[in-house]
Each structure stands twice: as C-alpha cells, then as structure tokens.
Chain A
Amino acid sequence: MGLATCWFMSTVEREAGEVARGLRRRDPSLIDDLIQQYQYRLFRYLLMLTGSREEAEDLFQETWIRVLEKGHQYQQRWKFETWLFTIARHLAIDFIRRRQPQSLDALLQPTGANRPLELADTTSSSAFDQAFQGEEAASVATALRHLPPSYREVLTLRFHEDMELEEIARVVDSPLSTVKSRLYRGLAMLREWLKDISA
C-alpha cells in the first residue's frame, strides 16, 4: 500500500513537472494535449459556473490563452486541474466585473440581489436545457437552473471532478467551512428539486 502510494505520487509529480517545464517553454504540442485532455472537464465547470453556453465557450478559449501566458507561474507541487480551474474562475469573475462592476464580496455571495457569477438568465429554459445530454438531462437542467451558481460550482468540483474539499476551497478561494456549507445546501436543494420534478 505504502509503495503503491509512493509510486503513484512520484508519477503524479513527474507528470506535473513535465507540464511545468512544457508551460515554461510554451510548448504548443503540450498545450494541444492539455486542451484535449481537459476539454470536457473545463467546459462543464465553466458551464456550471456561468449557466450560459456562449459565455462558457468564450471563457474556455480565454482560459487556455491565460494558461499559456501565465504558464511560467505554474509550479509542479500544484495539481494542474486545481490551477486550471482557479484561472478559469478568476477569468469568469473578471468577466462579470467588466459587465456589472461591483465588489468581490458581492460576487461571492451565494444569495441576495447581486447573485454571484450569474452571467446568463438562468430562469429561462435555454441555459442548461440545451447544454446537457443524458438520461436525466432535462430534470437535472431544471434543477440546476434553480441553484445559485456558487452552489453549482462546488457541486461540480466535488461530484464531477471528485476534488478534495481542501482543493475546492483553494479553487473558490473560500474557507473550508464555507465550501462545506455550500455543498450541503446545494445537495439538499438539488435533491428537493429533483424530487419535485419527478413527483
């Protein structure tokens, strides 16, 4: 068990080291590979964050350009996906600030008049309905429409990305207690909405 963990950790570190060196060189083929590897995950995260397909597509491109520009800052002790999602999140917040200037605190509040990270009109049926496919896509889309973006964000990081709570706290730049409370509330709301829809 110990040996297997050591082997796994050294493999992860070696890969992170290769990514760090490639990013410092601005190696185009490495960027191509990273885009391929993380395409669905990044897009899904941005979609959950913004609630808008168009905004998610724009931010997807901008995130990779930013990864290229800031690649020299990436350190191999970080997990690449944590760094990637942090960049994507900062870009999304910058994007909202440009559109509707307000304080960062207001952007990060999960409820209230200035709903955070709310780029699209998620009360309309188009935002998630057209974005998702799958067995229960329609009911999930309806439930997600009613969740605050900050809840959708932590739900996707925890249950799609299987991130540790500490990693999520790092990505969303919030205390662990805030992440947990958002997860519990988000899960409860999701469950209630899906129950109502199926009833």
Chain B
Amino acid sequence: MRDDIHERALQLVDKRQVEGLSAEEHNGLEAHLESCAQCQKGALETERALRALRSAVPRFDVTLVLTTQMRARIRACELIENAARMRALWISCTLSWVLGVVSAPLLWWGFEWIGHRWAISRAVWMTGFALSWVAPAVVAAAVIAWRQARGSSVTEPR
C-alpha cells in the first residue's frame, strides 16, 4: 500500500512535467513530497533530467544558414519565373480557346463556301475544317515536347 503511494507520487511528478496537474493533484503531491525524502529525490532527478535536456544546445554552423538562404533565394526566383511563364501560357490558351469558339461559325461558313465554289466534296472540306482546329494544338504540343526533351537532356549530366 505504501509502495502504491510512492509510485503514484512519482507518476504525478512526471505528469506535472508532461501534461500538468489539477489543483487537487498538485496539493496532494506537494504535501507528499514535503514528508517523503525518497519521492523528493525522484522529483529532483526528473527536474535535473529536464534541465540537462533543455541546457543541451546544438552546435550550429552559421554557414548552413547562409547557404540555405542563398539556395532559397535562387529557388524563389525560379518559382517566380515559372509562375509568370505558366500565367502567360494560361492566358494565351484561354484567349486562343475563346477566339477559336468565336471564329468557329465563320470558319465553318468559309470552308462550306469554298467547298461549293470549287465543287469539293463535303467530306474533304469538313476534314479541312477539323484540321484547321486540331493542327495548331498538335504543332504547339510537338514544340513543347521537343523543348522539354532538349531541356532534360541538357540538365542531366549523369
């Protein structure tokens, strides 16, 4: 029974450090510690362990901060440039899509007129119309793929 009291007191010593005590637990513990040298020693050992842990300061290399700041600045510039490039790409894609949609009826009418004018079969002028829509995107995708392939071969030294 006595051992239980001491064990409980030492649990409360740890609890005080880890999650805090209620007023009742705090008063009970303080009263016990005043009358028990063994638990008082246990409490002091816990405090000493935490003091030692807190006093351990890592040796810090100042150049690490400077190097990190330099790397972060370079990466920030890259990200800002990439963001600007992506914004321009999105704007041009949106504009291109809007213009495409707006001009589609005109383009259709134009192809139809040419088909009638030179007696071209319906399948041919419709294919021409479809190609006029798809070709720019195919060319743009091919250029982007080619540039990326070229870029990765340049940035892969190993």
Q: B73 touching A180 by the CB < 8 A rule?
A: no
Q: A26 touching B57 by the CB < 8 A rule?
A: no
Q: How far is the CB of A143 from chain B (nearest CB, A)?
A: 8
Q: How far is the CB of B69 from chain A (nearest CB, A)?
A: 5
Q: B56 touching A140 by the CB < 8 A rule?
A: yes
A contact set with B: CB distance below 8 Å: 26-28, 31-32, 35-36, 39-40, 43-44, 47, 57, 60-61, 64-65, 68-69, 130-137, 139-141, 143-144, 155, 158-160, 165, 180, 183-184, 187-188, 190-191, 194-195
CB within 8 Å for A187 and B46 given contacts A32-B69, A165-B19: yes
Return the contact of A69 from the options B18, B49, B79 (Cβ within 8 A).
Answer: B79
Name B49-64 residues within 8 Å CB distance of A. 49-50, 52-61, 64
B14 interface hit (Cβ, 8 Å): yes
CB within 8 Å for A139 and B64 given contacts A64-B72, A187-B17: no
B135 interface hit (Cβ, 8 Å): no
Q: A194 touching B52 by the CB < 8 A rule?
A: yes
Q: How far is the CB of B42 from chain A (nearest CB, A)?
A: 8
B contact set with A: CB distance below 8 Å: 14, 17-19, 45-46, 48-50, 52-61, 64-65, 67-69, 71-73, 75-77, 79-80, 83
Q: B72 touching A136 by the CB < 8 A rule?
A: no
Kindly state the separation between the CA atoms of A143 and B50 in the bound complex, as whole angstroms.
12
Kindly state the separation between the CA atoms of A132 and B53 in the bound complex, as whole angstroms.
10
Q: B65 touching A65 by the CB < 8 A rule?
A: no
28 A-B contacts (beta carbon < 8 Å): A26-B80, A28-B77, A31-B69, A31-B76, A32-B72, A35-B65, A35-B68, A40-B60, A43-B58, A43-B64, A131-B58, A132-B57, A132-B58, A132-B59, A135-B55, A141-B56, A143-B52, A158-B18, A159-B17, A159-B50, A159-B54, A160-B54, A165-B18, A165-B19, A183-B18, A184-B14, A191-B46, A194-B45
